[in-house]
Structure 1
Amino acid sequence: MTLPLNPAFAATEAPPVMEARRWIAGKTFAPDRPLINVSQAAPVDSPPLPLRQALAEAALNDPQAHLYGPVLGLPDLRAEIATQFSAAYGGTIAADQVAITQGCNQAFCAIMSTLAGAGDEVILPTPWYFNHKMWFDMQGVTTVGLDTGDTLIPSATAAEALITEKTRAIVLVTPNNPGGVEYPAEVLAKFRDLCRARGLALIVDETYRDFDSRHSVELGGRPHDLFADPAWDDTLVQLYSFSKAYRLTGHRVGSIVASATRLAEVEKFLDTVAICPSQLGQMGALWGMQNLRQWVAGERDEILARRRAMTEGFAALEGWRLLGCGAYFAYVEHPFDMASDALCKRLVDDCAVLMLPGTMFQPDGSAAGKRQIRIAFANVDAAGIAELFRRLAAFRP
């Protein structure tokens, strides 16, 4: 007997990163030509030693590390985020406008659950982050793709033409996953104004904010001034992840910044699916925010150096075209007469390189997706990047 399956799940694609891992399952790679894995944008190194020591200290000596905590997160962490983000963005964020989640993906699912249900529509720029699309598919929410063209920068004017009576929100990711581009502040302001005028939520996922080339509190820079608007919480929702900047991927800590009224609805979701975020992970995130500012700045400098290496490498790689590059990602157009999903499988066997095809980030049948590839370069050092380009240059279909 076959147990029933929710039709919405049957219509949802399998996780792309897990699919790509199956392409290398059972394969071996020569010691002098190891696999270059640029498929996933997650740190592979452990947190810095002082943070690991703080986690160990909390695990050993703080009884609260092993108990349920507040559904919306530790008050001290919520307050720290409010204080630091207010300073970073030149605005005013209160502690009760911050919620902590089990990673940024849960933050997205939680906030979207309060905004859109089956039959509703949400506008998502393409290429999109596939987990966002997967959540909408599982919930019966219609994803309305907003084509960003060769610039990978969405247009508020184009988005307005897609709004219907079923539209509930517009989702933006900056720096972008998968495109790598940093959305200009004026673009975000136009989307804010559009959403406010049409009564929609503007979701801004800033998972990679710490690696934005414009974001440096020390230098007085900021990627946008949305929080400087005193009425920001009538429209704006910001999402963030501690996984990247502090290498806390396994601890699953993310955040939502939104109106306190909206977070009261989010609390219903979080209490149902997780009770509370990881206490130990939150303690690590708080310690990191309070003690690792300079270390994070060094991490940003390293990622920006790798970004430069990717930009220079593609400028010299014949036939390939770099569409966007920033944070952890380069998004490129390949020159070959084959679809990107077939090409990426070939690159595993012929070049020992694993990356994700644009077909995983575009609607089914997208001609653009068949020409595009995402390269997550954050875990590849300068020597590895140089080797990546040598292998790509030598590839012959």
Structure 2
Amino acid sequence: MPPLNAFVARTAPPPVMEARRWLTGLDFPAHRPLINLSQAAPVDPPPEALREAMAAMIRDEPDTHLYGPVLGHPALRSEIAWRWSALYDGEIRPEDVAITAGCNQAFATAIMTLAEPGDAVLLPVPWYFNHKMWLDMSGIEAIPLPCDARMHPDLAAAEALWTPRTRAVVLVTPNNPTGAEYPSALIESFAALARSKGAALVLDETYRDFRTAPERPHGLFTDPDWRDTLLHLYSFSKSFRLTGHRTGALIAAPARLAEAEKILDTVTICPPQLGQKSALWGLRNLTDWLASERTEILHRRAAAYAALSSLPGWRVLGCGAYFAYVEHPHPLPSNELCPLLVRDLSLLTLPGTMFAPEGDGRAKRQLRLAFANVNSEGLGALGERLAGLGEVVG
């Protein structure tokens, strides 16, 4: 067998794929169907109006099937620039925007422009596992950054953990996996810390459209010098259900995007044309629909919190956007408990051990539940099943 890249070989396998293997050979009884809480992606297709528009794009617009600009369709870049400028009360220009094949590619590209093997990046724990995987595959050290009881990253700890090799700190808000929404002041303090170190803040706002707070998420873009520090990430997978069409965005200084263009040209040549056109159509036509989606997610958040917070011995650590992050009271570690939940309670969840460094004792008591695809009735059933977990474990 030819040699393997050692960085890739040492990287953990994809957690969602591992969780799906727990389903192998199982049949779920009709009275207790599977409730899948493992993946934070919409399972429904885009709304019908968008699907009709997409069909016309495929049928009537020949450039849908061709290569396009490496950094994305100019109309979509311009639309994002002015809409984000209005949302954040700042100045974002079209040349600050690059379109990527999903937000994971935006993150990977951002990191490639910032760091090289031997460098380090601060990641709050629990972390989004694909972020950790990319750093591992790139030979970049992920420095675990602790969070407080609200699941907010600890600013003082970040300053203490900073080393001369640290090139960036990464924040995800609303957070995957905890659902925590970071206050504007905290985000801005992390940006100030990164600026003081001559480093970057990589801010992933994939779940921004499902925040509980209606006000502006932060004031970073009001700073005319935001380009010196901030790299901003976004995804259309969640907002318009374009998961299979891989459309994300990276907002950064034009000089950095010129370097990103080298990466993106080599990897994808251009972002998918149908996804870009669909995102542009959605921005122009689905404002009210997206508002109703947010309302539904907030209803499900409330139902999830009610179901989980009433369980004796359980503790809700975070709940927001698509996620609830909980601490369980049972003696089994979460990586052993989760396969048992599938087999005996028809609940597919992810253990906290998938979101933390190996050996993290707290993670063994934690679970992530992605509830965005489960209605209020299903979330009530979730609470009922978990209430009986003690008998199963016993």
**One fold, TM greater than 0.5?**
yes
> Does the Cα contact within 8 Å between 1:155 and 1:187 map onto a contact in 2?
no
Q: What's 1:33 paired with?
A: 32
Query: Per-residue deviation at 1:159?
Result: 0.3
For the residues of structure 2 that align with 1:207 and 1:28, how far apart are their CA atoms? 34
Query: Per-residue deviation at 1:338?
Result: 1.2
Query: Per-residue deviation at 1:150?
Result: 2.5
For the residues of structure 2 that align with 1:364 and 1:150, how far apart are their CA atoms? 21
Q: What's 1:394 paired with?
A: 388
User: Is 2:276 aligned against 1:279?
Assistant: no
Q: What's 2:339 paired with?
A: 345
Q: What's 2:76 paired with?
A: 77
Q: What's 1:218 paired with?
A: none
Q: What's 1:375 paired with?
A: 369
For the residues of structure 2 that align with 1:223 and 1:114, how far apart are their CA atoms? 26
307, 310, 313: which one aligns with 1:316 = 310
Q: What's 2:205 paired with?
A: 206
Q: How far does the alpha carbon of each residue in 1:189-235 deviate from its partner, in whole angstroms, 9 at most, with x for none?
A: 100111111101100000000001124xxxxx211111111111110
Which residue type is aligned with residue 304 of structure 2?
M
Match runs of 1:1-397 below 5 Å:
2-215=1-214, 221-396=215-390, 397=393
User: Is the partner of 2:178 in helix, strand or coil?
Assistant: coil
For the residues of structure 1 that align with 2:360 and 2:213, how far apart are their CA atoms? 32
Q: How far does the alpha carbon of each residue in 1:317-368 deviate from its partner, in whole angstroms, 9 at most, with x for none?
A: 1111000000000000000011001000110111000000000000000001
- Percent sequence identity over aligned pairs: 57
> Does the Cα contact within 8 Å between 2:122 and 2:144 map onto a contact in 1?
yes
For the residues of structure 2 that align with 1:262 and 1:156, how far apart are their CA atoms? 26
Q: How far does the alpha carbon of each residue in 1:285-319 deviate from its partner, in whole angstroms, 9 at most, with x for none?
A: 00000000010000000000111111112221111
Q: Give the count of matched residue pairs.
A: 391
For the residues of structure 1 that align with 2:34 and 2:298, how far apart are their CA atoms? 23
Which residue type is aligned with residue 11 of structure 2?
T
For the residues of structure 2 that align with 1:30 and 1:343, how far apart are their CA atoms? 20
- TM-score between the two structures when normalised by the length of structure 1: 0.98
Which residue type is aligned with residue 301 of structure 1?
T
For the residues of structure 1 that align with 2:364 and 2:315, how far apart are their CA atoms? 14
For the residues of structure 1 that align with 2:369 and 2:116, how far apart are their CA atoms? 33
For the residues of structure 1 that align with 2:216 and 2:30, how far apart are their CA atoms? 44
Which residue type is aligned with residue 184 of structure 2?
A
For the residues of structure 2 that align with 1:163 and 1:125, how far apart are their CA atoms? 13
User: Is the partner of 1:243 in helix, strand or coil?
Assistant: helix
Query: Per-residue deviation at 1:261?
Result: 0.7
What is the RMSD of the two structures over their aligned residues, measured on CA atoms?
Answer: 0.7
For the residues of structure 2 that align with 1:52 and 1:29, how far apart are their CA atoms? 32
Query: Per-residue deviation at 1:160?
Result: 0.7
Which residue type is aligned with residue 280 of structure 1?
L
For the residues of structure 2 that align with 1:61 and 1:291, how far apart are their CA atoms? 19
For the residues of structure 2 that align with 1:186 and 1:171, how far apart are their CA atoms? 16
For the residues of structure 1 that align with 2:333 and 2:311, how far apart are their CA atoms? 19
